[in-house]
Structures are given as structure tokens and as C-alpha cells.
Amino acid sequence: MTAADTKAAGPPVPVPRAPEKTGTSPSEQGAAGPRPKKRRKKGELLPYLLILPAILAIAAVYVYPLIKTVIMSFQDLGRAALWGNGETPWVGFEQFTNILGDPEFWSVVGRTVVFMTICVVLTMGIGLLIALMMLRVSTWVRIVLTVALIAAWSMPLMVAASVFRWLSDSDYGLINTLLADITGNEDRWLGHNWFLDPWQGFGIITLLVVWGAIPFVVITMYAALTQVPKELEEAAALDGASAFGVYRYVTWPVIKPVFTMVATLSVIWDFNVFGQIWLLRGNKPEPEYETLGLYSFSKAFESTSFSQGSAIALITVLMLSGVAVYYLRQLIKTGEVE
């Protein structure tokens, strides 16, 4: 065949293919019988059985007390009813209206918020600075600092409170002695009682709270800082960025999710501070030192108004629920990024 014959013949016409069978008809399916059920893999339920004891323990420790607190907050539970010697009347929202209409309650709320804010700001600021410093020191200094932080973190609260009570003691306290030596004014500082003034007393309490919280913040933030790519920091420095610019535009975006989660946890912890104030004030804090946790305890056990104490505790839980939801959202976002 010549080229002219090929051109005259034109392109070849494609032949349509017969459709292939992609499935079976309903009659064939019926004839084949029902599909076999999917069998469970061996050991598929084992993980759920392993975590069942933990779930039951959490339910016993957290869920039941929470339900009991909600029930008690709508009752008028006194000492006689607590021991089963009297009836417990239902009063509806009376406990909540009495609490929310009490000016003392709002004074305690304001004191708690201010105290929590100062503790969180100092904890996160100092903790982040120490974590940044750990990146620039030698290995042996970093190891010594880490051991010291873990030792401080593992110290029991009662021991730490006893140390700070000795440091701030009016007669033999180290703080008063140092201030007297530095200023040369022994009459002013020797014998000075820090807890006569609530502002000064809360200063000592804040030192104890921040001292106990810094190790967790430092170790967590240092771990986050080690995940910052060194190549990005070096590239930013070569492009002329200052040290603050490198931190702002390279380091901070990487550590921001961890910083946010740690700060949220610090808000929850510092809002519920109880033991530090209780121990530093000799197991009987003055009304000027009451935060929401101590205020709830005082109403429940000193005034024997258990329902009112439960209502205050429930209001505290509702106040912190927004913070807890924000923390969970940040946790989910971090998981999605990873």
C-alpha cells in the first residue's frame, strides 16, 4: 500500500467493546446466599479491657463526687442531715442566688483572679526565660539545672511550705535578715511580720506557688524549643534578622501551641490554689487570704453549710469550664498539626 492509498483510506475506525460485567444481578446474589459476617480479630477487645479499671477509678474519684456536689447544691444540707438524723429539703436555686448576691463572694472572686493572673504571668515569663537560657549553656550546666528543677518539682508541698515559712519568719527568717543586712536598717526588718499585710502575705504565697510551678514550665518549654529547626534560625540570621526578630518570626510560631497549653494549665492550677495558703497561714487562713477554694471550704465546714459550699464549688467549676474547653481545643489543634 502506497502513501496515497493510506491517506485516502483515512484513519481506522475504532470498534466498540462489549460492556464487561462489573457485578452480579440480584437473582445471582440471592442464589449465592448472604454475605458472611465480619469476624472480630483476636484480641480486638483487649485494649478496652485494659483501660476499664482506669475508667472505673476515674468515675469513682471524679464523676460520683461531681454528681453529689450538684445534688447538694440544690438542697439545704446541714450537719444533722449529713449524719442521717434529719431530712434534706430541696431549695432549688436559693443557694446560688444567695451566693451571687453576696458582695463578699465577688470580693473573693476578684482576689482569686488577681492572684491567679500574677502567678501565671510570673510562672510563664520566668519559666520561658530559663528554658531559653538552657539552650545557650554548656551540657554539664544544663544537666545540673535540670536535676535541680526536678528535685524542686518532686518536693512535697508540706515540706516546701515549711521552708517558706522559715524563710519569711518574723524573728529568724532569712528574708528579714538579708534585707536588714542589705539596707542596714535592722529596726525596720528584724521582727517584720509579712502576713500582717495581705499584699505582702500574698507576695510570699506567690513566691511559693511560682517556685513550685516553674520546673514543669521550664522542662516543657525547653522540650518545645529543641524542636525549632536550626536551619530556619540560621537562615533568618543570615537575612539580617535581629535576635528578637528570629525569636518572633521563627521560634515563637513553633513553640506557641505548647506555650498556650502550658499557660492554660497554669490558669486552672493557680485558680484552685489551696494547700499553699492553708499551710502558710497555719491551717486557719484569715478572711483576707481566702480564695474561692478556701472560701468554699470555709462555708462548708466552718459555717456547716455544706450545700452553700457545694454551690460555690460548682460555680468555680463553671468558671473554669471555659478555660478547660479552650485547652481541649488547643490540644486537638496541636494534634492536627502534628
* Structure confidence by residue, pLDDT tens digits, 245-283: 888 888 898 898 889 889 989 999 999 899 999 999 888
Domain co-membership, 137 together with 270: yes
Spatial separation of the C-alpha atoms in residues 264 and 323, rounded to whole Å: 7
Residue with cell 463553671: 318
Q: Does residue 78 carry a pLDDT above 80?
A: no
Q: From the centroid of its chain, how far is CA 148? A: 23
pLDDT for the residue numbered 1:
44
pLDDT score of 270? 92
| 17 found inside a domain | no
324 and 192 both lie in a single domain: no
Evaluate if residue 63 carries a pLDDT over 70.
Answer: yes
Among residues 327, 289, 63, the alpha carbon closest in space to that of 194 is found at: 289
pLDDT at residue 323 is higher than 90:
no
For residues 264 and 326, is the Cβ–Cβ distance under 8 A?
Answer: yes
Residue closest to 35 by CA, chosen among 45, 21, 43, 24: 24
Output the pLDDT for position 2: 45
- Let me know whether 212 and 252 are in one domain: yes
Q: Which of 74, 142, 110, 130 lies closest to 306, judged by CA?
A: 74
One domain, residues 243 and 130: yes
Closest Cα partner for 312 from 150, 10, 105?
105
Domain, as residue range, for 287: 117-292
SS3 readout for 248-277: HHHHHHHHHHHHHHHHHHHHHHHHCCCHHH
Query: What is each CA distance from 228 to 132, 222, 225, 233, 333, in whole angstroms?
Result: 12, 10, 6, 8, 18
Could you tell me if residue 286 is inside a domain?
yes
pLDDT at position 35: 62
Q: Is 157:212 a contact under the CB 8 Å cutoff?
A: yes
Helices 139-154 and 103-134: crossing angle, nearest 10°?
A: 150
* Residue 61 predicted with pLDDT over 80: yes
Examine residue 230 and state whether it is found in any structural domain, yes or no: yes
- Which cell numbers in the block locate residue 96? 446560688
Q: Cα–Cα distance between 330 and 338 in angstroms, integer?
A: 12
204 and 277 housed in the same domain:
yes
For residues 277 and 138, membership in a common domain is answered with yes
pLDDT at residue 307 greater than cutoff 50: yes
Same domain, 153 and 260: yes
**Considering only 85-99, 162-176, 299-313, 321-335, which range has the smallest mean pLDDT?**
321-335
User: What pLDDT is attached to residue 7?
Assistant: 43
Q: How far apart are CA 185 and CA 327, in angstroms?
A: 48
Amino acid at 203: G
Query: Taking a C-beta distance cutoff of 8 angstroms, is the pair 82, 306 a contact?
Result: yes
Is residue 173 in some structural domain? yes
Report whether pLDDT(210) > 90: yes
Question: How many domains is the chain built from?
Answer: 2
Distance CA 52, CA 35 (A): 33
- Calculate mean pLDDT across residues 186-191: 84
| CATH number of the domain where residue 186 is located | 1.10.3720.10
Answer yes or no: do 97 and 142 share one domain: no
As a whole number, the mean pLDDT across the chain is 83
Residue 119 banded pLDDT, cuts 50, 70, 90:
very high
Q: Evaluate if residue 156 carries a pLDDT over 70.
A: yes
Cβ contact 78:306 at 8 Å = yes
| Residue 281 half-sphere exposure toward CB, CA atoms < 13 A | 23
In the predicted structure, residue 152 carries a pLDDT above the cut 60: yes
Please report the pLDDT score of residue 16 as a whole number: 52
Reported pTM? 0.78
Distance between CA atoms of 66 and 314, rounded to whole angstroms? 8
Q: Cell digits for 277?
A: 495558703
Which pLDDT band holds residue 79 (cuts at 50, 70, 90)? Answer: low
Confidence check: pLDDT of 337 > 60? no
